[in-house]
Structure 1
Amino acid sequence: MFDGSLPGPAALADISDGELIEAITGWAGAAAAAQARLLAAVAERRRRAETTADADPVRTRWACDPVDEAAAQIGCALTVSHGRAVALMDTAVTLRDHLPRLNARFLAGQVSERVVARIVWLCALVVDEQVWAQLDEQFATAASTWGTLSGDKLDTAITVWIHTLDPDAVRRAATAHRGRDIRIGGRDQAAGTTSVWGRINSLDAAIAAARLKAMVNSVCGEDPRTTAQKRADAFGAVFAGAFHLSCLCGKPDCPVAAVPDARATSITVHVVADHTTLDATTDPTLHGSDDTPNTDAEADAELGPEPVPGPDTEPARAPEPAHSAHPSTANLQPTPPTAEHTAPEPQPQADPPPAPAAEQPAPAVPARPAVILGLRGAVLPPAVLAEVLTRGATVRTVADPRALPVTPGYRPTTAHDEFVRCRDLTCRVPGCDRPALGADLDHSNPWPAGPTHPSNLNGKCRLHHLLKTFWEGWTEQQQPDGTLHLSTPTGHTYTTRPFSALLFPTWATTTDPPTRPQPTRPAPPPSPGRGLKMPLRQRTRAENRAAYITAARAHNALQAELDRAAEHAAADKRRNIRRKTAAAIDAMKQSLDPQSDYGDDPPPF
């Protein structure tokens, strides 16, 4: 692959355009071949996991079964999520066991990863080995020419063969009612907005429309928001349990302005923020239409903030790190310290000395965006956070990590819990981005050998917590700043740092060593019946997959019968319409051209 047959980066500047295109094509094939070999290794790891399951059938019903353990190792190695690692194993096994000819073309770099991934996805409901063999033959012949097809055309080309050989295996779109769903979609980090889309039944839609309309009309006419903006704000207020929308007119005599903002007072939403973000001012342009003329307040806002006081003013008291327990902000780091040195004394001279440094305004410290805990790192701009704070959100200070004592028992205190979750933000296993807000707090060195203290606690999602607790060979070491060194049964070690260290680099998360003596006894060895404490699945992974395929194929077969019945009914309806139309036309012709009866008389001339 890297044997010199293809030009490397150093040689690209000296080759012609034609040779450059050849290099691009060649390296694309090399990338496909490399990915195929990666999947071959993944398939072998899956085979070994299944061998482990066969040797110990009890573990196939573990909530964290042998496939999960294998996926965790792959996720650490590739820094991908657990779901992505499981999907890679499924794709690799399908290629190895059911599509060997296509896999050979993939290994040769003749088929792209995109085409292979779509084929495997669309063939997921095939169960007959003879059908697999026929599909493999067709795909191996045609797939090398499918790389130029768009996504829809590629799916059509694959589905045609599946429909020809196994109609019940064709993936069908769910019916409109069965497919109802509400999704929190893509985020615009700069604007602090998130798309919401979905499909609900018509009764719920009518209820939602009436509720939103009533809330939009509950504010006074001086509210600066447009109808669309009020409707969007009412959407969030509804989920906070509100029946009325808080008015933003700002008038003291407005009766609706006294209605508290349910988003800021009713629901707890943790937001991690820098201290300067708490001091940010609201943005008057957040509401109203784009063509609204600027008011005096908006004109003043465009002039920028007041200059920061110089050194001649009273120094500000260094704030403590803060954190929010309401739909507000969690300030996790103090303001960066300002320089404490003063300018040197000016030497006597004839010319007047330059203006003292105190008269020069200090540059303003830019406010960093906040991060919403539990929403996979959604960013909240300072202006939006400032508005939530003005509407009643609560700010609470996170304890200084150096002041957190050791808890004598197993469960951490509330202060420990808040600090560790805000420090880690996500599960600490490489590739896993499940929020720490709903994760477990795990003792890095098992208790009681390891203390219940932030220096020995980190957040893990339930799956990875079970993995580290019940599967042999998973160990870790944690540094006082939260850095975690995770070792797998294969002897590989992966290092992760708290996510807050990247987002808030000036926040000191290092905890002092415990002040009092710790127990010197080691952690007890795993007991023989330890595995009995592992939560169990109701069905094994293989049983779940078989049940899903059976239900999907049955649904497809039923839907095909309904489609055929609908086609027959539509054809009968069309025939009846044509028959009635023909009869009506004949009747009309007869009425327009009646047959004259002259009897025995000759026709007149």
Structure 2
Amino acid sequence: MFDESLSGELVAVIADSYREESKLVGRRLAAVAELLGRRTWEAESEDPDCGYMIVTGLQRTSAEVAAAMNLPPGAASTLVANADALDSRFPKVMAVLCAGDTDWRTVQIILKRTELVSDLSVLAALDSRLSSGVARWQSWSRKRVNNTVDAAVRALDPDAIRERENAEDQRHFDVIPVGNGTAKVDGVLDAESAVIVDEKIAALAKGVCPQDPRTLDQRRADAVAAMAQGLTLACRCPACSSAGTPAPTVDEGRGVRTVINVIADQSTVLGIGNTPGYLAGFGVIDAEVVRRMVERATVRVLTVPVVTAEEMRRYQPTAAVERFVRMRDLTCRFPGCDRPAERCDLDHTIPFNHVDPSKGGFTTPNNLKCLCRHHHRLKTFDNGWHDVQLPDGTIVWTSPTGRMYCTAPGGIELFPRMGPPACVEPKARRRNLSRERSKRIARTRERNRTLRPINTARRRLDAARKHEIENRKDRNRRRRTALLMLEHRRKPSPYLRWINEPDQPETLPPDWQPPPEPHEPPF
């Protein structure tokens, strides 16, 4: 179908079909909502008090939708409920969906995050606010849409935070044995505690040298025990081991220093307002949590920093510039990426001129943005992607096929009054996936070749031990039976001397080995 099409034409077909799909979803939901209204009217005409009917209008509509779309009953009921909620609670958002200016995934998030709102005036205000901004969320990640909707709900209806409070009441921490010498750790923590634990484990896991043979996941797992004992994580690389690295030392009450960044409005911090705040790496938090964290925090006023002529010609930004850019962006600025800003690089939109810094690419907030390492490499080494940074912090991306995407700073979206390593230059990473796969297969085959005789010998030894134990149990049973029979006869027999021997132990020592098998028959 597309053999003769250019790459740009293929991307255009994908984007156009996605927009048409949104229109079709909107049209389908409108039809379902209309059908639900008619079936509900029919049910009410049969019985004015139809709340206790066996088959309600919702059930009738769900059955028809399930038959028409070949859906199971549960999925059909969910679809009808979503159509009803969108039609009755958010008609303006539904109009945006029918126009193809947003997608069904974003609308589902809106419906889910606003299901506790019941006041009609609040719903109308939310409908107006979200419908005016939802068209700009095309390049937003799911997490960022969640944060924006949560902020709007908390600002208009504080009672709608019941779900979060209930979730916090269910916090727990369990250690569940799973066998094979391992256990599973499962739990629910409040947001502040979760960030502290995660940051401390990450700091311990990164404290070993680069030659440590463990993966990052393995180091994080080992860091849990070290953190619980107040120890540092010992390195396991051969060089450190042979050099006699001292044992992990106890951290004398200081622990791993953890920094948590929280952005909040001044009125919220002073206790005269209830605007939600934002916990970096987590999401939107309500004003009460912000004030609780402020009691033991260092408060800084976040303003656009003043950069001198000398500072803007340096590659590394100042601490004030770095703090402002991370708080302004909140996440990676590539379309759809939600990597937290504190784990991103600071990238110069206009590349820094290392030869002559005075010629452009200055280290200023209006030329810096947060990019995760993956997208930083993509932007730096893939010449097909281009970006332009506007004065308000908006980034306009141009793809290799010429399509344009806009991403706005997350901090400015949440706080309109606002205008993990520092800025590092990414290094090219060349990978041969086919060669890596071949090496991985070769390593697995070599490991199988090494383990096969070991496992075979182990199985033979286990079978021999089991056979020996069964034989001893059988001989002991026959000896006891023979002794019982001789006692009844009261006649000793010279041919049963073996019954006078003591019983053999029915357990084997750990070092027991079966007797060697004869190579030749005994006769």
TM-score range, shorter chain: 0.3 to 0.5
* TM-score normalized by the length of structure 2: 0.46
Give the structure with the higher percent helix: 2
* TM-score normalized by the length of structure 1: 0.40
Of structures 1 and 2, the one scoring higher in RCO (CA 8 A, sep 6+) is 1
